Structure 1
C-alpha cells in the first residue's frame, strides 16, 4: 500500500484515483472544482479544493509525505509545468506528470518530473496493434523492441508441450502464461500441453511475433 497524491481530476485523474483506491492505496485528491471531487469522496482518504499553482496550497498538503505524486493536468500546460516544478521543490519523492506532446514531456522532465506518461498516446498505440490484426487479443509494450502479446497457438502447437514445440529456440518467443476462459496460469512448465482454445501470453520482439501472425492468417 502506498500514499498517493493526485492533482487534477479530469477523465484520466478520475480513473487513476478509482483504480489506485481499489488496489488498497491511500489516495488524496486535489482539484479547483468541487464537482470533480464529489463522486470520488467515498474512495479516497482525503480531498481538497484548491489551485495547486499556489505554493501555499501545495505546502498545506504535506507533499513530502506521499510516495507518489501525480500531476494530471491535461488542458493547461503552463499550470502543469508550474505544479510539477513546485511539487518537486517541496519534496515530492516521485513526481509523475501527464503530457499530451513530446515537447511538453521534455519541459516537464527538465522541471521536476521523474516520469512522464502519455495516456492518450499509449491507449491509441495499444488499440492500433490489437485491432489491426484478428490474432492479437491484448498487447503491452515494454520497450521499443519488446512487447507482451496475447495470441492463439499455431495449429501445429496444439496438443504438444511447450518443450516439444521448442517455442523459444524455434520462434524466438517466451511463454509467460496461458489464458483460458478468463483465467491465467503464469509461468507454465515446459511439459505443459497447449490446447486449441487457449491464448498464449508471450514476450517477443515485434519482428518475431509478426512472423507468427502471418502464419495464423
Structure 2
C-alpha cells in the first residue's frame, strides 16, 4: 500500500484514482473544481480544492509525505509544467506527469518529472498491434524490444506439454500464463498440456513473436 497524490481530476485522473484506491492505496486528490471531486469522496483518503500552480497550495499538501505524485493536467501544458517543477522542488519523491505530445514530455522530464506517461498514445499503440494482427488477443509493450502477447497455440503445440513443445528453445519465448474462458493460470509448470481452445500469454522479442504469428496465417 502506498501514499499517492493525484493532481488534476480529468477522465484519466478519475480512472487512475479509482484503480489505485481499489488496490488499497491511500489516495489524495486535488483539483480546482469541486464538482469533479464529489464522486470520489467515498473512496479517497482526502480531497482538496485548490490551484496547484500556487506554491502555497502545494506546500499545504505535504508533498514530501507521498510515495508518488501524479500530475494529470491534460488541457493546460503550462500549468502541468509549473506544477511538475514545484512538486519536485517541494520534495516529491517520485513525480509522474501526463503528456499529450513528445515535446511536452521533453520539457516535463527537464523540469522535475521522474517519468512521463502518454495514456492516449499508449492505448492507440496497443490497439493498433492488437487489431492489425488476426491472432493477437492482448498486447503489453515492456520495452522497444520485448512485449507480452496473448496468442493462440500453434497447431504443433496442441496436446503437448510445454516441455515437449520446447517453446523456449525452439521459438525463443517464455510462457507466462494460460488463459481459458477468461480465467488465467500464471506460471504453468513444464508438464502442463496445451489445449486448442486456450490462449497463451507469452513474453519475448517482438521479432520472435512476429515469426510465430506468421506461422498462424
TM-score interval (norm. to shorter): over 0.9
TM-score (norm 2): 0.98
Task: Name the counterpart of 1:191.
Answer: 191
**Where do residues 54-73 of structure 1 align in structure 2 (5 Å cutoff)?**
54-73=54-73
Question: Whole-Å Cα distance in 1 between the matches of residues 125 and 73 of structure 2?
Answer: 21
Q: Secondary structure at the match of 1:184?
A: strand
- 1:73 is displaced (CA, Å) by 0.3
Higher mean Cα deviation, 180-189 or 78-87? Answer: 180-189
Gaps of 5+ in 1: none
User: Which string of whole-angstrom CA distances, capped at 9 and with x for unpartnered residues, describes residues 68-104 of structure 1?
Assistant: 0000001100000000000001111100000011111
Task: Name the counterpart of 2:96.
Answer: 96
The answer as to 2:5 corresponding to 1:5 is: yes
Q: Secondary structure at the match of 2:215?
A: helix
- 1:149 is displaced (CA, Å) by 0.2
The answer as to 2:172 corresponding to 1:172 is: yes
**Where do residues 9-24 of structure 1 align in structure 2 (5 Å cutoff)?**
9-24=9-24
Task: Name the counterpart of 1:108.
Answer: 108
Task: Name the counterpart of 1:29.
Answer: 29
**Where do residues 156-171 of structure 1 align in structure 2 (5 Å cutoff)?**
156-171=156-171
Question: Whole-Å Cα distance in 2 between the matches of residues 178 and 134 of structure 1?
Answer: 19
Question: Whole-Å Cα distance in 1 between the matches of residues 110 and 133 of structure 2?
Answer: 38
Query: Which runs of at least 4 in structure 1 moved beyond 4 Å after TM superposition?
Result: none
Q: Secondary structure at the match of 1:193?
A: coil
- 1:117 is displaced (CA, Å) by 0.5
**Where do residues 103-182 of structure 1 align in structure 2 (5 Å cutoff)?**
103-182=103-182
Q: Secondary structure at the match of 1:143?
A: coil
Question: Whole-Å Cα distance in 2 between the matches of residues 46 and 174 of structure 1?
Answer: 43
Task: Name the counterpart of 2:45.
Answer: 45
- 1:206 is displaced (CA, Å) by 1.2
State the superposition RMSD in angstroms.
0.7
Q: Secondary structure at the match of 1:190?
A: coil
Equivalenced residue count is: 217
- 1:181 is displaced (CA, Å) by 1.3
